[in-house]
Amino acid sequence: MSGRPWFALLIPFTVTLALAQSAISPSHPNSPPPTNTAPTSAPSMTSVSAPTFSKDVAPILQKNCQVCHRPGEAGPFSMLTYEQTRPWAMAMKVAVQTGKMPPWFADHRYGKFSNAMSLSSAEIETLAKWADAGAPKGDPADMPPPVDWVEGWGIGKPDAVYQLPVAYDVPASGVIDYQHVIVPTGFTEDKWIQAAEVRPTDRMVVHHIIAYVREPGSNWFRGQKPGVFFTAPQVKTKEQPDTSALPSDFLVGYAPGQPPEILRPGQAKLIKAGSDIIFQVHYTPHGHATRDQSRLGIIFAKEPPKERVLTLSATNGTFKIPPGHPNYRVDSNFVVGADVRLSGLHPHMHGRGKDFEYRVVYPSGETKILLSVPHYDWHWQNWYNLEEPIALPKGTKIDCTAHFDNSPSNPENADPTKEVTWGEQSWDEMMVGFFNLVFDAKMPVENLFPDKKNPAGLASK
């Protein structure tokens, strides 16, 4: 049994394509465009009143869609030009009217997010009227200037790139344990990171990547040779029944839907002199042998930041989801040991994940819902960046609640007859509430933990 491929994230779009044209159901970014998806008969409105691509549609696509719908990115087709976009006009109409696109799953009643992917009613109406009118191009002079996308990167041109030293040969089938590779940074002085992005070279077979920072003196993978792949399965013991905690400093991750880490001015992540990058890569074969040589790009802060950003998590790795259970609840929490600010949230589950909620419980007892994801989609794993960071006084508890559907009615369920526990493969489950904390760059990181322990060997300062 193998994990689900990355392009399962295209399911929502292929559903809309089926609605728009039952004969079309692309499953690969290089699929040919559908035919006759825009009306060929006389449009129902005059050409004078109909929106055009050049004047009305292109600005919407630049703002909301091209970040994914361009060569080398996750979208199944490009929207950079009229010729690339027009064949998909009716499918786009259905996708935006049904809420399948853009992919954004937060309940609008809770929280405001700077990276919210949503269209206004006016933008949805424009796309629908454009499709209904036969998808006219309009006057090329009305086209806005093209966005200057940096090919291959969402952060812009990196200051430094770290690539897997050798390509990994992914077989056509089978199960692959998590692969790890240690890559020395070569830093001779502490470096502050303003932006970071990790990318596969073959998205089709990469379930996820995490780039960890291992500071000098860490015991994590001590003795492992740099530059070569190795496995390190998590083993539960009586002394350590929960192996779900982050093993080291989380720099940045990749999964379908997960954006690069681009921090606000005056904020940065720390990589200490002499640190290593440890890539953790989860490969999922998909019917053909291929190779991947993932890479990490980073942009250095131009000056020492006032605030440090750290990615932590509230996890629970001890759950046991009964066979067939349609709504199994799992909770996790994290108590902050110092005054901090909360800037971003990232729920993570697998195919049985149903919904996820973040709450904060202040020392006063007041409780506030920060994020509710009522319909979790593991094929598109958003970060939810708060429009304004929230102050968390010392002693505030970050509570997370998830529900899992292990019933036969869940089409993502690998096997509803099995009890499901924490595990690395996609037919196992995970319950992780990632979050970003922001705090004074001079504060020792140990202060974040109430018991004064540093569970992941995070770089202090």
Q: Is the pLDDT of residue 4 over 70?
A: no
Query: Which pLDDT band, with edges at 50, 70 and 90, does 235 fall under?
Result: low
For 154, 297, 303, 343, 417, the CA distances from 266, given in Å and listed in that order, are 20, 20, 8, 14, 51
Q: Is the pLDDT of residue 227 over 50?
A: yes
In a domain, 197, yes or no: yes
User: 424 and 364 in one domain?
Assistant: yes
More confident residue, 366 or 217: 366
User: 197 and 95 in one domain?
Assistant: no
Q: Average of pLDDT values for 217-222?
A: 89
Q: How many beta carbons lie within 10 A of that of residue 273, not counting itself?
A: 14
Tell me the two tokens of residue 104.
């954004």
Query: Which pLDDT band, with edges at 50, 70 and 90, does 12 fall under?
Result: very low
pLDDT for 33 equals 57
Residues in the chain: 461
User: 239 and 187 in one domain?
Assistant: yes
More confident residue, 28 or 193: 193
User: 445 and 398 in one domain?
Assistant: yes
What would the pLDDT profile of 243-267 be if each residue is shown by its tens digit?
A: 667 777 899 999 888 889 999 999 9
User: 451 and 361 in one domain?
Assistant: yes
User: 299 and 312 in one domain?
Assistant: no
What would the pLDDT profile of 373-425 be if each residue is shown by its tens digit?
A: 999 999 888 999 999 999 999 999 999 999 999 999 999 999 999 999 998 88
In a domain, 1, yes or no: no
User: 313 and 284 in one domain?
Assistant: no
Q: How many beta carbons lie within 10 A of that of residue 388, not counting itself?
A: 9
**Among 36-40, 92-96, 138-142, where is mean pLDDT lowest?**
36-40
In a domain, 110, yes or no: no
For 243, 353, 403, the CA distances from 420, given in Å and listed in that order, are 15, 12, 13
Distance, in Å, from the CA atom of 206 to the CA atom of 199, rounded to the nearest integer, reads 9
Q: How many beta carbons lie within 10 A of that of residue 417, not counting itself?
A: 9
Contacts of 269 (CB under 8 A, 6+ apart): 192, 193, 196, 251, 261, 263, 308, 309, 310, 311
Distance, in Å, from the CA atom of 186 to the CA atom of 120, rounded to the nearest integer, reads 47
User: 436 and 297 in one domain?
Assistant: no
Q: How many beta carbons lie within 10 A of that of residue 196, not counting itself?
A: 23
β-sheet bridge partners, residue 206: 283
pLDDT for 71 equals 86
Q: How many beta carbons lie within 10 A of that of residue 114, not counting itself?
A: 12
What would the pLDDT profile of 46-97 be if each residue is shown by its tens digit?
A: 455 899 999 999 999 999 999 889 887 878 899 999 999 999 999 999 999 9
User: 32 and 77 in one domain?
Assistant: yes
Q: What's the burial of 201, exposed, middle or buried (CB within 10 Å: 0-12/13-18/19+)?
A: middle
Q: Average of pLDDT values for 262-291?
A: 95
In a domain, 256, yes or no: yes
Angle between helix 89-97 and helix 121-132 axes, rounded to 10 deg:
150
User: 158 and 138 in one domain?
Assistant: no
Strand-pair category, 267-271 with 307-315: parallel
Contacts of 254 (CB under 8 A, 6+ apart): 197, 198, 199, 200, 206, 208, 209, 210, 294
- Picking from 244, 277, 303, the residue at the C-terminal end of a domain is 303
Query: Which pLDDT band, with edges at 50, 70 and 90, does 151 fall under?
Result: confident
DSSP 419-450: -EEB-SSTTSB--EEEEEEEEETTS-GGGGST
What would the pLDDT profile of 424-461 be if each residue is shown by its tens digit?
A: 888 899 999 999 999 999 999 999 987 655 554 454 45
Radius of gyration of the chain (CA): 23
In a domain, 330, yes or no: yes
pLDDT for 88 equals 96
Query: CATH number of the domain that 259 lies in?
Result: 2.60.120
Residue 53 phi/psi, 5-degree rounding, is: -60, -50
pLDDT for 75 equals 82
pLDDT for 238 equals 59
In a domain, 271, yes or no: yes
- Picking from 303, 335, 353, the residue at the C-terminal end of a domain is 303
In a domain, 203, yes or no: yes
For Cα atoms 62, 65, 69, give the angle at the middle one, nearest 5 degrees.
Answer: 105
In the chain, the number of structural domains is 3
Residue 307 host element (H or E): strand 307-315
8 A C-beta contact, residue 166 and residue 230: no
Q: List the domain range (segments joined by +) for residue 26.
A: 6-105+118-142
pLDDT for 325 equals 98
8 A C-beta contact, residue 182 and residue 229: no
pTM of the model: 0.83
pLDDT for 241 equals 63
User: 367 and 460 in one domain?
Assistant: yes
- Picking from 239, 274, 303, the residue at the C-terminal end of a domain is 303
Sheet with 353-361, side-by-side order of all strands: 328-335, 397-404, 353-361, 367-373
Q: Is the pLDDT of residue 35 over 60?
A: no
Query: CATH number of the domain that 394 lies in?
Result: 2.60.120.230
What would the pLDDT profile of 290-342 be if each residue is shown by its tens digit?
A: 999 999 999 999 999 999 999 999 999 999 999 999 999 999 999 999 999 99
8 A C-beta contact, residue 115 and residue 383: yes
More confident residue, 72 or 227: 227
Query: Which pLDDT band, with edges at 50, 70 and 90, does 345 fall under?
Result: very high
In a domain, 192, yes or no: yes
Summary mean pLDDT of the chain: 86
User: 273 and 218 in one domain?
Assistant: yes
